[in-house]
C-alpha cells in the first residue's frame, strides 16, 4: 500500500472505479458534460473530494477550465481525515499511483518547498497524511485525464492552524512566483445538515471565496466561522495565488449530495472554483 517511493492507491474501487478504462470513461463523461468558461490565467482551483458518484461532476467544472493546458507542475493541497499531525506534509517519493498509471512527483520542487529555513517548522518531507488519505488521491485521476498527467507536488495539511496556512501559502507563492504552476485545493463544504441548512452554510463559503481576500478568508477559517473540511488548504492556495498575481475568483459550480442522491435529510456540500488574473 505504501513505501518510501510509490504511494499506491488506497481508494480505487470505492471512491472511483478501479478499472482504468471505466475510470477514464467516467471522468471523460464528466468533462464532456461541463462548459469551458474561457477563464484565462488560472493559477488555482478548488475541487471537492468525495466519491465521484457524488462530487465528480462538480470537480469536473474546475478541471474543464484547465483541460489541455500545460503547467510545469501541479501543487495539490489536501486536508487530513485519516491521522493528525502538526505540520504540512510533503511526500517526495517517485509517484502517486492510480489505475491510470503513475503521477510523477516533482521531487526537486518538493525539496525546495520543504527545505526553505523560513518555513521548516511548518513544512516537512513526510509520509504522514499520505498513507491512507483520500482527499489528495481523488484529484489525481482528473489531472491524468484532463491535463495529460503533469508532475505533482502532493501536500497534506495536518493541523489547519494559522501558522500552517500562512507558511504554506507564503512559501509556495514566494518560492515559485513567476513559474508556470497550478495549485489545487481539495475540500468539501458542510457535512450532514438538512439541505436548506447546508445551502445557507455553504453560501457563506461561496461569498468568502468570491471575495478573494486571503487575509479575511484565513481569519474566517482560523475562527471556525466557515464549515469546510479543507478550509486551510483553500486559504493557503488563495495566499499563494495572490502572491503569484491572481486578483480574482470565480465560483464554477455548487451542489450537494442531496442533488445527486435525492436524500436531502443530511447532505455534504461540494464546490468548484478558480483563482485567476484578469
List the chain domain ranges: 22-191+198-276
**Cα(240)–Cα(244) distance, rounded to whole angstroms?**
6
**Cα(89)–Cα(155) distance, rounded to whole angstroms?**
5
CB 159 within 8 A of CB 229: no
Query: What pLDDT digit, counting tens, does each position of 89-136 carry?
Result: 999 999 999 999 999 999 999 999 999 899 999 999 999 999 999 999
Report pLDDT for 148.
85
Query: For the domain 22-191+198-276, what is the CATH superfamily, name and number?
Result: LigB-like (3.40.830.10)
Q: How many CA atoms lie within 13 A of 179 on its CB side?
A: 15
- When the pLDDT of each residue in the chain is averaged and rounded to a whole number, the result is 96
Query: What pLDDT digit, counting tens, does each position of 15-61 carry?
Result: 999 999 999 999 999 999 999 999 999 999 999 999 999 999 999 99
Query: What pLDDT digit, counting tens, does each position of 151-174 carry?
Result: 999 999 999 999 999 999 999 999
Tell if the pTM clears 0.85, that is, is over it. yes
Report pLDDT for 3.
57
Cα angle value 115/186/159 (rounded, 5°):
55
CB 270 within 8 A of CB 188: yes
The residues, any chain, with a CB within 8 Å of residue 25's CB and separated by 6 or more, are: none
Report pLDDT for 1.
38
Report pLDDT for 26.
98
pLDDT band for 224, please (50, 70, 90 cuts): very high
pLDDT band for 142, please (50, 70, 90 cuts): very high
Amino acid at each position: 500500500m505504501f513505501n518510501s517511493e510509490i504511494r499506491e492507491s488506497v481508494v480505487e474501487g470505492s471512491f472511483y472505479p478501479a478499472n482504468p478504462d471505466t475510470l477514464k470513461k467516467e471522468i471523460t463523461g464528466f468533462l464532456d458534460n461541463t462548459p469551458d468558461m474561457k477563464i484565462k490565467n488560472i493559477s488555482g482551483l478548488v475541487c471537492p473530494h468525495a466519491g465521484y458518484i457524488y462530487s465528480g461532476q462538480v470537480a469536473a467544472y474546475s478541471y474543464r477550465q484547465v483541460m489541455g493546458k500545460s503547467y510545469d507542475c501541479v501543487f495539490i493541497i489536501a486536508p487530513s481525515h485519516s491521522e493528525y499531525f502538526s505540520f504540512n506534509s510533503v511526500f517526495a517519493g517517485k509517484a502517486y499511483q492510480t489505475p491510470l498509471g503513475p503521477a510523477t512527483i516533482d521531487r526537486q520542487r518538493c525539496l525546495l518547498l520543504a527545505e526553505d529555513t523560513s518555513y521548516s517548522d511548518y513544512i516537512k518531507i513526510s509520509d504522514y497524511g499520505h498513507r491512507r488519505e483520500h482527499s489528495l488521491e481523488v484529484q489525481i485521476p482528473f489531472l491524468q485525464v484532463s491535463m495529460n498527467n503533469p508532475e505533482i507536488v502532493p501536500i497534506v495539511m495536518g493541523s489547519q492552524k494559522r501558522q500552517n496556512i500562512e507558511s504554506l501559502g507564503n512559501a509556495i507563492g514566494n518560492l515559485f512566483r513567476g513559474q508556470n504552476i497550478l495549485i489545487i485545493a481539495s475540500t468539501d463544504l458542510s457535512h450532514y445538515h438538512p439541505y436548506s441548512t447546508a445551502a445557507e452554510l455553504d453560501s457563506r463559503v461561496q461569498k468568502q471565496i468570491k471575495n478573494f481576500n486571503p487575509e479575511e478568508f484565513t481569519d474566517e477559517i482560523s475562527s471556525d466561522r466557515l464549515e469546510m473540511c479543507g478550509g486551510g488548504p483553500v486559504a493557503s492556495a488563495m495566499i499563494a495565488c495572490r502572491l503569484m498575481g491572481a486578483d480574482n475568483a470565480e465560483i464554477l459550480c455548487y451542489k450537494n449530495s442531496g442533488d445527486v442522491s435525492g436524500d436531502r435529510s443530511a447532505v455534504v456540500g461540494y464546490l468548484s472554483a478558480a483563482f485567476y488574473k484578469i
